[in-house]
A and B are shown apart, each in its own frame.
Chain A
Amino acid sequence: MGRIVARVLGAVFVLWAVVTLAFFGAYAIPGDPAEAVVGGAGSRSTPEQLAQISAQYGFDRPLWVQYLDTLGDLLHGDLGTSYSLKTPVATLIGQTVGGTLVLAAASLAVAWAVAIIVALGSTRDSRLGTALGSLLEVTSVAVPHFWLGSVLILLFSVGLGWLPPISTPGPSGLVLPVLSLALPLAGFLGQVMRESFIAALDAPFTLSARARGETETRVRLVHALRHAALPAISLSGWAFGSLISGAVVVETLFSRPGLGRTLLAGVLAGDIPVIVGVVLVIAAVYVLVTFATEAADRIADPRLKAAARPTEAAAW
């Protein structure tokens, strides 16, 4: 019980820290917030207009007053209103968060599937197979999302004409963005999995399973995979976070509505409520996913249930 309270307090601390960093970070971007209200590239404002807006929005107050104001609003569940779009930030996030979560979740699932297939399939006694698998993983990790996405577009949209380059709402519009995000991550997960997989195949329990006459497939899928997956499961929380940051690039490339594009537009426009709101939501998702991966860890690794490790409390 105390453990759960500590977790929740830790989560609140993380969210507060993130909001604070985002707020002051956003203010550190040079530029007059009043320009964000009228601004945007190509718009030119007169002095009176900017002064009037500053007074109206309270930009002329000390920064710490504005910070406490923002914090107070957030505590009341009010994410504020976008300077540039004049729309409540909660509405903006509500419209786009689904698309990003679907993209990230699908990418994580595909990354896992690819990682398992490559790691399991190529970790054989054959050195060539292992080497090829490793090479694939290392290469895909090194590929930037943007480059991979562009190549996929040239290949599958322009060349073969199978899939749309601009993401559409249906499943066909999701394929290329998901592949762009999932393949580098799959390489990463695969590398992690392969190492523990090799260790598990050499472990005594594998030997005894083989001695019991179990098939190689069963040994791999039931016994070794469970061990091999553990570090990868722990990393999935982090991976989900990285997918959301990768979404900024992929959503822009495939012109797909989402949180990443909302954040990018917010940063470019100097729209502080949008920046703070989106960063807060991303942090909240990240905290939730970390809770979830911990729970998944416990299911996959029964040893964790027996011995609670208090040192882990502040691990994230």
Chain B
Amino acid sequence: MRRTLPSLSVALLSTVLLAACGGGGGEDTANLTPQQGGTLVYATGDDEPACLDPQTRGNVPQALLGSQFLESLFYQDEKGEIQPWLASAWKVSEDGKAWTVDVRQDVKFSDGTPLNAEAVKVNIDRVLNPDTQSTTGRLALSKVDKVEVTGEYTAVIHLLQPDGALLESLSQVWLPIESPTALKRSNEENCLSPVGTGPFKIESWTKQDNVTLARNDSYSTPPPGASHTGPAYLDKIVWRFVPDGTTRFAALQSGQVNVVDVLEPQNAVAAKNIPTLGTLIASRPGEPVEIKLNTGRAPFDDAKVREAFFSAVDVAGALKSVYLGTVEQAKSPLSSATRYRADTVKQAYDPDAANQLLDEAGWTAKDADGIRSKDGKALTVVLPYAATIPLEPGFYEQVQATAKKVGFDVKLQPLETAKWWVANNDWEYDALPIYYTKNSADVLRITSLSSANTATTVGGYHSGNTALKSPELDALLEKAGESTDDTERADLYKQAQELLSNGYYVLPVYDQQTRLGYETKVKGLRLLPSLSMPTFYDAWIND
């Protein structure tokens, strides 16, 4: 949606105007005393959630907003390690199938309901209940059997099979602990004003305009890494929905808003030259924005052709020209913010190598345009894309142009989101741009198991996109998913990433990012490391 109204001329015009403003950058490093009060206005370019409760569905817009008023049992730090948050202690049974979790005894939800083990059970049961319509959260808890309350503040999570990623899953904002009192309401009502333990609470939601959050004065659960205790500094946050990137950045420049997200590349460059503005750009964990190759049909059923495609496209060059040096090429099937990530992908633009590989693979005939063919079939690559995937049309065009030089005919198909999903579900593609946000290497199990390719639904959704069926990879991922041993997991995931990279199944492009622009008078802005979502708990405005 945010890219449905592109206007190159305006983008260029704004860049020129901004460049003309000039000025030097420079971060404020002074040690200032935080000021109490004030209202922060945040303009998001992500979609307006249809439901504010991330237990229902489970997408990035919900996670962005939910991080302000909801909290999880666990906190995942910058190193990917698990720390206590609403949980105070935990231990796993010998067989890895029972996790005993103690929750803090002094915590109240913002509606006054006390936190206890029963609340944990109510929340997990609710996510698993199909009526809740949880997607991301439910997939993450697919190994959970049931929750047993064994004491006022102690719950045991029983699993169907060991799950090394359980605590990581439970540190995502898609699996928050919400007030059981509030959850007694209908799903529709809960969607309007979910209640958590976070530093803010929902005050009102004016559709298509804003969600207003007010400080939770009884707040007592700052996450590890926070720089103060007690309630937040800000009185209120006005969370505005501003789909157009030019408008968002204009609003930031003119002081109408204090912080924007989905900061567009040219605006990120422009912000560097405006002393009153700063940028905060960070990778999100999971699978990066990547192009998955469909091995289920020609031409990518041939490993040589896949390898040739890797060498035929100038990913680095396209990124540089489209993103103006604001993003780096990804080198792994896992984003750089994901624990156990290994740099296993070696991709470099090498047309000579690509030509040689295609010759070897038998794609030797060429037509007048230089497009190769074999047995009368042209070397065509169907690539459907949609605005949902954060890649600019200019990027695809450059992929198309460089691949053409060695004889690939890349057919770009710009589609609406719904149509793109159909192409995806029906395997009507050779190369598919996609990403998956999850704070665990276990994301590979969701996207790359053999079974991920065969799932059929009413709409035909399958979480796998390469059609790869490798018993070897399945074994690695299942074993890694069940392991709770750090060294073993690291090793198994490294092998899995190597297997994926050596087979040329997935071409990583760049890490999916949180891209914030902010007025430098906003201090204490921080990202929660689990999913790189911003938190305004420590934030204050230096007037």
Query: Chain A residues in contact with chain B, CB under 8 A?
Result: 29-32, 34-35, 37-54, 84-87, 92, 95-96, 146-147, 150-151, 153-154, 157-159, 161, 164-166, 249, 252-255, 257-258, 261-262, 264-265, 268-270
- Are A258 and B208 also in contact (CB < 8 A) when A45-B457, A46-B457, A268-B1 are? yes
A255 pairs with B419, CB closer than 8 A: no
Q: B458 near A47 (CB under 8 angstroms)? A: yes
B130 close to A49 (CB less than 8 A): yes
Which residue of B is nearest A31, CB measured? B418
In the bound complex, do residue A45 and residue B419 qualify as a contact, i.e. CB atoms below 8 Å apart? no
Task: Please name the residue on chain B nearest to A50 by beta carbon.
Answer: B458
Q: Which 3 pairs between the two chains have the least Cβ-Cβ distance?
A: A42-B59, A31-B418, A32-B459
Report how far A254 CA is from B247 CA in the complex, Å. 7
1/0 contact trace for B248-280 toward A, CB 8 Å? 001101101100000000000000000000000
**Those of B86-127 within 8 Å (CB) of chain A:** none
Structural contact, B459 and A35, CB atoms closer than 8 A: yes
Is the beta-carbon distance between A50 and B242 smaller than 8 angstroms?
no
Q: Please tell me if the beta carbons of A268 and B416 are within 8 angstroms of each other in the complex.
A: yes
Question: How distant is B250 from chain A, measured CB to nearest CB, in Å?
Answer: 4
Q: Of B57, B247, B416, which is in contact with the most chain A CB atoms at under 10 Å from its CB?
A: B247
Question: Cα distance A95–B47 when bound, in Å?
Answer: 19
Residue B508 lies at the interface, judged by CB distance under 8 Å to chain A: no
Known: A43-B135, A154-B13. A32 touches B458 (CB 8 A): yes
Known A35-B421, A253-B244: A45·B135 in contact at CB below 8 Å: yes
- Interfacial chain B residues near A54, Cβ < 8 Å: 458
The number of residue pairs between A and B whose CB atoms lie closer than 8 Å in the complex comes to 179
In the bound complex, residues from chain A placing their C-beta under 8 Å from that of B244 are 252-253, 255
- Cα separation A197 to B207 with both chains bound (whole Å): 46
Contact yes or no, A52 B43, CB < 8 A:
no
Give the residues in chain B near A154, CB-CB below 8 Å. Answer: 10, 13-14, 17, 246, 250
Q: Is residue B206 contacting chain A, with contact meaning CB distance below 8 A?
A: yes
Within 8 A of A (CB), among B434-458: 437, 455-458
9 A-B pairs, CB-CB below 8 angstroms? Answer: A31-B418, A34-B459, A45-B457, A46-B457, A47-B458, A146-B7, A157-B250, A165-B254, A255-B247
* A147 & B458 in contact (Cβ 8 Å cutoff): no
Chain B, residues 384-404, CB within 8 Å of chain A (1/0): the string is 000010000000000000000
Chain B positions 523-539 with a Cβ under 8 Å from a chain A Cβ: none
Are the C-beta atoms of B50 and A150 separated by less than 8 Å?
A: no
A41 to B388, Cβ gap below 8 A? Answer: yes
- Distance in angstroms from B185 CB to nearest chain A CB is 13
B435 closest partner in A (C-beta) = A42
- State A253–B244 Cα separation when bound (angstroms): 5
Binding site for A on B (CB under 8 A): 1, 4-5, 7, 9-10, 13-14, 17, 43, 47-51, 57-61, 130, 133, 135-136, 138-139, 187-188, 191, 206-209, 240-244, 246-247, 250-251, 253-254, 256-257, 388, 416-419, 421-422, 437, 455-459, 461, 463
B336 to chain A, nearest CB (A): 20
Question: Which chain A residues lie closer than 8 Å to B49 at the CB level?
Answer: 40
Interchain CB contact under 8 A, B254 and A158: yes
- Nearest CB in chain A to that of B5: its residue: A146
Report B-chain residues with C-beta under 8 Å of the C-beta of A34. Answer: 458-459
User: A31 and B419: CB pair below 8 A?
Assistant: yes
CB A93 to nearest CB in B, in angstroms, measures 11
Query: Quick one: which of B17, B50, B138, B246 contacts A269, CB cutoff 8 A?
Result: B50
Determine whether the beta carbon of A255 is less than 8 Å from that of B240: yes
Residue of B nearest to A48 (CB): B130
A42-B59, A268-B4 known; 5 new pairs, CB 8 Å cut-off, are A42-B58, A46-B457, A49-B138, A50-B457, A157-B256
Residues of A within 8 A of B243 (CB): 252, 255
Known: A38-B133, A43-B136. A147 touches B10 (CB 8 A): yes
> Which of B50, B250, B388 has the largest number of chain A CB atoms within 10 A?
B50
Which partner residue on chain A sits nearest B58 by CB separation? A43
Residues of A with C-beta under 8 A to B7: 146-147, 150
Which of B50, B58, B421, B458 meets A84, CB within 8 Å? Answer: B50
Q: Is the beta-carbon distance between A166 and B43 smaller than 8 angstroms?
A: yes
| B130 touching A92, Cβ below 8 Å | no
Known contacts A38-B133, A43-B58; decide if A29 and B458 are in contact (CB<8 Å).
no
When distances are taken between beta carbons in the complex, the residues of chain A under 8 Å from B247 are: 150, 153, 165-166, 253-255
Establish whether residues B1 and A37, one from each chain, have CB atoms under 8 Å apart when the complex forms: no
Cβ-defined contact, B133 with A151, below 8 A: no
Question: Which chain A residue lies CB-closest to B456?
Answer: A47
- Give the Cβ gap from B267 to chain A, nearest Cβ, in Å: 11
Provide the bound-state CA to CA distance between A35 and B457, in Å: 11
Contact check, A92 vs B207: say whether CB atoms are below 8 A apart.
yes
B135 touches A44 (CB 8 A): yes
Which B residues touch A165, using CB under 8 A? 247, 250-251, 254, 256
The closest CB in chain B to the CB of A38 belongs to: B133
> Could you tell me if B208 and A166 are in contact, using CB atoms closer than 8 angstroms?
no
Alpha-carbon distance between A44 and B60 when the two chains are bound, in angstroms: 12
Could you tell me if B133 and A37 are in contact, using CB atoms closer than 8 angstroms?
A: yes
Contacts of A157 in B (CB 8 A): 250-251, 253-254, 256
Known: A41-B388, A255-B243. A50 touches B254 (CB 8 A): no
B415 CB to nearest chain A CB (Å): 9
Q: In the complex, what residues of B have CB within 8 A of residue A262's CB?
A: 208
Interfacial chain A residues near B422, Cβ < 8 Å = 30-31
Given contacts A29-B416, A30-B419, A166-B257, contact A49 B250 (CB under 8 A): no
How far does the alpha carbon of A265 sit from the alpha carbon of B50 in the complex, in Å? Answer: 10
